[in-house]
Chain A
Amino acid sequence: MSKTLAVARWEYLERVKSKAFLIGLFLTPIIMVGMGVLPSVFATQEDEETRVIGIIDRSGVTAREFARRMEERYRLANGAPNYSVRSIAVGQTIDLGEAVRQANNMVSNGEIEGYCVVDGDAAPDSVVEYRSRSVGDFRVGIRMQETLKGIVAERRVLAMGLDPRVLKELAVNLDVRMVKLSKAGEKEEAGFEKIFFSAFVFLMMMFFLIATSGQILVRSVIEEKANRIVEVLVSSCSPTELMAGKVIGLSGLAFTQLGFWTIIGVAASVQFGMELINPGHALLLVIYFILGYLFYAAIFIGAGSPLTTEQEAQQVNTYLILLLVLPMMLALPAMKDPEALWLRVLTFIPFFTPTMMALRVPIQVPALWEILLTVVLMILSIYVVMVAAGRVFRIAILSTGKSPSFGEILRWARSG
């Protein structure tokens, strides 16, 4: 036992001290937050200068009203208009080809950012084109749409002989808010994003930690095999002690990362006033995380220890990572219908249990018998996989040269 701890301590300290670990520790949450937050930050960022847009108006009656409304309604922080609208060609008789050519020139020499082409008012549902060099700014599109809709609506109301104020009366603001009911029938706030986000973050973290520590494990075994350190190790302690030590050391590493990220996460959510996920749910998720981690760690040992080169290790890693990605791809369909039969069936397959539970728990906590049964199943399969991996490990760590065939590995795993 003390030797197992010596191995665990060594594996843990050597990795914790490495630069790669520190980078991963800080960079991963930054990247994850970045992926989630940055696009919306950019999208909602206010303009700082007035933007000039052009209009080609074949109805002949829209351009002026459009310019007035755009310039009055949308203002920059300093009070200046957000948009300045230039009429390029207005009238029912204009030469469209000529106008477009002129507008294109203006875009390319920077006079205007883009222009919209408004057809005659004949069709009840029409498409207005906005042509610009960058079509990524969807806000300008939404604003033009609002403005044009307003103009057309007002014109129609007037044509019917009504007071334009009627439009204000007709404007209805209505929102459907999703409210989740728990089993007991109490209502529980849970937006789709929140559920998706907590499940997704959980999956990402599990994926990341299993993939990285699996790689670390396989690398360390390959290094020890290449320079024969493993002979000294095996003459000092039993292969079982060695493997157990490695698993414990790397688990410690993963849980260190997890703990650190949790602290960051909690601190961030307190800071920004985000709601935390239910502590009961969190506890369940942590249990499934630990079980899933150990399960996959054993698989990595079994699959990784017979390898003798980095290249082979990378190939095998790719397959193992696919195994992890598969459940993640099921996340969206699972979100829609957390009680679906196929989802419940997959929950009982050890490969999928942790991820399926990660999806189901935040939406709808599964029945107690399901939780107990999956935990027992996971523990049993961890035991089975660990024993098999241990057998493979014991033989594999001393074999060098040609990597054994899959059949041979299976034989090792079965033979006591």
Chain B
Amino acid sequence: MLLVTHLRKAFDTVLAVDDVSFSVQRGEIFGLLGPNGAGKTTTIRVILKILEPDAGETTYDGRKFSDRTRDILGYMPEERGLYKKSKVIDAILYFAELRGMARGQAKAEAYRWLKRFALLEHAERKVEELSKGNQQKVQFITAVLHGPQLLVLDEPFSGLDPVNQILFKDILLELKREGKAIIFSTHQMEQAEKLSDSLCLINKGRVVLGGSVRDVKKRYGTNSLHLEFEGDGSFLNTLPGVSRSLIYPNSAELELTRDAKTQPILSELIGRLEVRKFELVEPSLQSIFIQVVAGVPAPRQLEAL
């Protein structure tokens, strides 16, 4: 388990990361969300020890990261790029070796992954001859080749076409089943919603909400009920748990209170209306995101350093 506690990192006078804490279990995909410039990438860099934190610490299975535990990490930075003039296979093997992998084993794994990504015929070509999407796949391979326990991906989906997004998603789910802990950052809420088990929303360096996706939705969103029916729906706004309602001749949108149960509502309806559609709509992360981010004050300024 990755445990991040009270991480803090300041640049000049701006707190880029301000008291960030979260945990990621094995076999869990963790979404690090936030608008552009929220501090996602800085958080990742501090976790990976690329930057030294000003305060706080990161442990994996109770141990601090050190030079020796570096090899359990896999990292794909946001900027896309590899050694342009080098051969694909050479670049992959170099990174595998840097992660402490033996050459023979690295070679076998490299070809297995290249095959998986349909890149076998590009293995001997130069990186710069590949398309952007294919370069991104190569970069992904360099992050996962050595079988890291903890995989950190900064905006892994940006710039991928839908087909490859699905491919990446499948592979991430596969790695999750293998028991890896996976962190990925994104500002696309739909991605996070579909893929992550738990998440942490950062804005202006601070965690504004976090936890499992279900919890977050429960805590921050309000469910609404969409109905289609035949009959007189005028009584709908008096049902228990309905806080607001929009009633049309043959349909209605009912906003529910947080603790409202749908089962009692359904039984009230039966016999009084001919119900054609009964749909409980969960709030999207998108709407929560907008709601939460819109109400957050400007980044804290430090007193003169």
Interface on A for B, CB 8 Å cutoff? 2-3, 6-7, 9-10, 13-14, 18, 223, 226-229, 231-238, 398
Of B30-38, B81-89, B111-119, the stretch lying at the interface with chain A is: B81-89
Tell whether, in the assembled complex, residue B82 and residue A229 are in contact, meaning their CB atoms are under 8 Å apart: yes
Per the bound structure, the CA–CA distance linking A170 and B281 in Å amounts to 122
- Chain B 63-101, CB-CB to A under 8 Å as 1, else 0, gives 000010011010111111111111000100011011110
Q: How far is the CB of A399 from chain B (nearest CB, A)?
A: 11
Contacts of B95 in A (CB 8 A): 232, 236
Per the bound structure, the CA–CA distance linking A321 and B45 in Å amounts to 36
Given the interface pairs A228-B78, A231-B50, A234-B50, the reply to whether A223 lies near B83 with Cβ below 8 Å is yes
Given the interface pairs A3-B100, A6-B97, A398-B51, the reply to whether A235 lies near B85 with Cβ below 8 Å is no
Option from B75, B82, B98 in Cβ contact (under 8 Å) with A231: B75
Option from B70, B77, B81, B86 in Cβ contact (under 8 Å) with A236: B70
Q: Which chain A residue has the least Cβ–Cβ distance from B76?
A: A232
Cβ contacts A to B, 25 pairs, < 8 Å: A7-B98, A13-B90, A14-B83, A14-B85, A14-B90, A18-B85, A223-B84, A227-B81, A228-B77, A228-B81, A229-B81, A229-B83, A231-B48, A231-B75, A231-B77, A232-B75, A235-B49, A235-B50, A235-B73, A236-B71, A236-B73, A236-B98, A236-B99, A237-B67, A237-B98
Q: How far is the CB of B205 from chain A (nearest CB, A)?
A: 19
State whether the Cβ of B223 lies closer than 8 Å to any Cβ in chain A. no
Q: Which chain B residue has the least Cβ–Cβ distance from A241?
A: B67
Interface on B for A, CB 8 Å cutoff? 45, 48-51, 67, 70-71, 73, 75-86, 90, 94-95, 97-100, 142-143
Contacts of A6 in B (CB 8 A): 94, 97-98
Per the bound structure, the CA–CA distance linking A398 and B46 in Å amounts to 12
Tell whether, in the assembled complex, residue A2 and residue B50 are in contact, meaning their CB atoms are under 8 Å apart: no
Identify which of A3, A227, A235 gathers the most chain B CB atoms within 10 Å of its CB: A235
Q: How far is the CB of A165 from chain B (nearest CB, A)?
A: 77
Contacts of B79 in A (CB 8 A): 227-228
Per the bound structure, the CA–CA distance linking A236 and B50 in Å amounts to 10
Q: Is the interface of A mostly helix, strand, loop or mixed?
A: helix
Q: How far is the CB of A274 from chain B (nearest CB, A)?
A: 40
Per the bound structure, the CA–CA distance linking A2 and B101 in Å amounts to 10
Per the bound structure, the CA–CA distance linking A302 and B48 in Å amounts to 25
Given contact pairs A6-B98, A9-B97, A238-B67, a sample of 5 additional A-B residue pairs in the complex whose CB atoms are under 8 Å apart: A13-B90, A227-B80, A232-B142, A235-B75, A237-B98
Tell whether, in the assembled complex, residue B83 and residue A237 are in contact, meaning their CB atoms are under 8 Å apart: no
Contacts of A14 in B (CB 8 A): 83, 85-86, 90
Q: Which chain A residue has the least Cβ–Cβ distance from B139?
A: A232
Contacts of B50 in A (CB 8 A): 231, 234-235, 398
Q: How far is the CB of A231 from chain B (nearest CB, A)?
A: 5
Contacts of A231 in B (CB 8 A): 45, 48, 50, 75, 77
Q: Which chain A residue has the least Cβ–Cβ distance from B49?
A: A235
Identify which of B45, B73, B81, B143 gathers the most chain A CB atoms within 10 Å of its CB: B81
Per the bound structure, the CA–CA distance linking A2 and B81 in Å amounts to 25
Q: How far is the CB of A85 from chain B (nearest CB, A)?
A: 64
Per the bound structure, the CA–CA distance linking A231 and B77 in Å amounts to 7
Q: How far is the CB of B4 from chain A (nearest CB, A)?
A: 16
Contacts of A229 in B (CB 8 A): 81-83
Per the bound structure, the CA–CA distance linking A123 and B80 in Å amounts to 84
Tell whether, in the assembled complex, residue A235 and residue B81 are in contact, meaning their CB atoms are under 8 Å apart: no
Contacts of A227 in B (CB 8 A): 79-82
Q: Which chain A residue has the least Cβ–Cβ distance from B80?
A: A227
Per the bound structure, the CA–CA distance linking A2 and B71 in Å amounts to 13
Tell whether, in the assembled complex, residue A2 and residue B51 are in contact, meaning their CB atoms are under 8 Å apart: no
Identify which of B48, B50, B100 gathers the most chain A CB atoms within 10 Å of its CB: B50
Per the bound structure, the CA–CA distance linking A3 and B45 in Å amounts to 21
Q: Which chain B residue has the least Cβ–Cβ distance from A232?
A: B75
Q: How far is the CB of A219 from chain B (nearest CB, A)?
A: 11
Contacts of B85 in A (CB 8 A): 14, 18
Give the top 5 A-B pairs by smallest Cβ distance, nearest first. A227-B81, A228-B79, A236-B98, A6-B97, A228-B77
Per the bound structure, the CA–CA distance linking A223 and B90 in Å amounts to 17
Option from B73, B86, B98 in Cβ contact (under 8 Å) with A3: B98
Q: How far is the CB of B33 from chain A (nearest CB, A)?
A: 21
Contacts of A2 in B (CB 8 A): 100
Tell whether, in the assembled complex, residue B94 and residue A10 are in contact, meaning their CB atoms are under 8 Å apart: yes
Per the bound structure, the CA–CA distance linking A9 and B75 in Å amounts to 22
Q: How far is the CB of B100 from chain A (nearest CB, A)?
A: 7
Per the bound structure, the CA–CA distance linking A9 and B95 in Å amounts to 12
Contacts of B51 in A (CB 8 A): 398
Identify which of A9, A228, A233 gathers the most chain B CB atoms within 10 Å of its CB: A228
Option from A226, A235, A238 in Cβ contact (under 8 Å) with B48: A235
Contacts of B45 in A (CB 8 A): 231
Q: How far is the CB of B282 from chain A (nearest CB, A)?
A: 37
Q: How far is the CB of A48 from chain B (nearest CB, A)?
A: 49
Contacts of B48 in A (CB 8 A): 231, 235
Per the bound structure, the CA–CA distance linking A235 and B98 in Å amounts to 10
Per the bound structure, the CA–CA distance linking A236 and B70 in Å amounts to 6
Q: How far is the CB of A401 from chain B (nearest CB, A)?
A: 11
Per the bound structure, the CA–CA distance linking A223 and B81 in Å amounts to 10
Q: How far is the CB of B290 from chain A (nearest CB, A)?
A: 30
Q: How far is the CB of A205 from chain B (nearest CB, A)?
A: 26
Q: How far is the CB of B151 from chain A (nearest CB, A)?
A: 12
Per the bound structure, the CA–CA distance linking A223 and B153 in Å amounts to 21
Contacts of B98 in A (CB 8 A): 3, 6-7, 233, 236-237
Per the bound structure, the CA–CA distance linking A36 and B223 in Å amounts to 87
